[in-house]
Amino acid sequence: MLDPRLIRASLSDVVTQLEKRGFKLDSAGLEALELKRKAHQVETEALQNERNNKSRNIGKAKAAGEDIQPLLAEVAGLSEKLDAAKNALQQVQQEMDEILLGIPNLPHESVPAGRNENDNVEVRRWGEPREFDFKIRDHVDLGAHQQWMDFETASKLTGSRFVVLRKQMAKLHRALIQFMLDMHTIEHGYDEVYVPYIVNRESLRGTGQLPKFEEDLFCVDAEQGYYLIPTAEVPVTNLLRDEIVDAAQLPLKFVAHTPCFRSEAGSYGKDTRGLIRQHQFEKIELVQLVKPDDAWPALEVLTAHAETVLQKLELPYRVMALCAGDMGFSSAKTYDLEVWLPGQQTYREISSCSCFTDFQARRMRARWRNPDTGKPELLNTLNGSALAVGRALVAVVENYQQVDGSIVVPKALQSYMGGVELLQA
């Protein structure tokens, strides 16, 4: 959520910045609503003040043993007026909230202009795509061996966009998880957390998935408002919802391994082959909660932490700065890491690292006590995948394939594979 005071104070500026990401804000409607809100609020509070005073006087008169009948007559009809004013105010406020919760974050000034992924800007590149002297196979073909990746059985168990991993492939998948968790906890100083995979609506509103993107989620209990998490970002960031932390505790750095569940509504026919776009996948997520002044440097560092995983796995990648039109709803700036996939002869997204400024923190009321002012102030939140495990598995399998279909285990993973150096075809 944007700061309502910022919207009030510099509406035209906000409108311009939102246009950069292709969002049209109805400023006239908002201004009109704001005037209504103000009028109703002033009226309501004046009536409340009157009621409070008169009721207090009744109490005093009663205590003094005076006749309170005349005073009671005075307040007659007041409560109806107050109720009416309250209702009017509530209605306007609800309308207002609906609009405010639907406004995306303002893009940072360094975010490139543009409307879609074609306008994203490459920031840097690491590693050289390997030259193959044989016909390259993609991960689906390579995974067919010994049913390493078994999509048919998964579709029997559930439906499309699921997979069963078997034998060494299942173990390689697990090795990737352990490797990434160890790296971030031991080398990058993140605190490992284990969190619920089902969250309530408040949490989803906090990070920005609700109310606008409900169709992307799997609801497991509509009555309770329980949803499967689409990313660990939701439970982990919401750890600080409604909290005020000491400055000395900052920055907070969390890493979590969780499955992620996405309905992929609206992506019918897209990436239907293989492991790229599944309803269920594993992800290692980095989350940071920092002082506002530290947010932008933190985004660079967090992105570098994600990059380290690819470097240790010796997988070629590039870093893309997303253009304003391609960024997620809550993000002020996003870097995507794209890994080279020989099977597709292209770079594909494997990580997304974002700074949300105070956008999520305001929705969550996640705050810190600023020693300079002594007052609670909003935190800034960041997160990034480091990495998406399924896609990392795809990248390893395709980049490390041999002519006979066997897969070399990257050096960094060998100790996690019990010393195995090759998945034998």
Partner RNA sequence: GGAGAGCUGGCUGAGUGGUCGAAAGCGGCGGUCUUGAAAACCGUUGACUCGAAAGGGUCCGGGGGUUCGAAUCCCUCGCUCUCCGCCA
| Active site residues per annotation | 262, 277, 349, 352, 391
How far is Cα 325 from Cα 419, in angstroms, rounded to an integer?
Answer: 46
Of the pair 28, 64, the CB lying nearest RNA is at: 64
| Residue 84 Cβ vs RNA, minimum distance, rounded to whole Å | 12
**Distance of closest approach, residue 48 Cβ to RNA, in angstroms:** 4
Which positions ≥6 away from 97 have C-beta within 8 Å?
A: none
Of the two residues 62 and 115, which places its CB atom closer to RNA in the complex? 62
- Beta carbon nearer to RNA, 49 or 153: 49
The answer to whether 252 and 245 have CB atoms below 8 angstroms apart is: yes
Cβ distance to RNA smaller for residue 158 or 224? 224
Element (H, E) at 44: helix 27-63
Smallest distance, RNA to C-beta of residue 62, A:
5
Residue 352 phi/psi, 5-degree rounding, is: -135, 120
Q: Which is nearer to RNA, 55 or 91 (CB)?
A: 55
3-state SS assignment for residue 354: strand
For residue 368, count CB atoms less than 10 angstroms from its CB and return exposed for 0-12, middle for 13-18, buried for 19 or more. Answer: buried
For residue 8, the minimal CB distance to RNA (Å) is 7
Q: Please report, as a single letter, which amino acid is at residue 352.
A: S
Identify whether the C-beta of residue 366 lies closer than 8 Å to the C-beta of residue 382. Answer: no
DSSP 185-224: IIIS-PEE----SEE-HHHHHHHT-TTTTGGGS-EEETTT
Contact residues toward RNA (CB under 7 A) are 4-5, 38, 41-42, 44-46, 48-49, 51-56, 58-60, 62-63, 72, 75, 78-79, 244, 367, 374-376
CB of 55 to RNA, least distance (A): 3
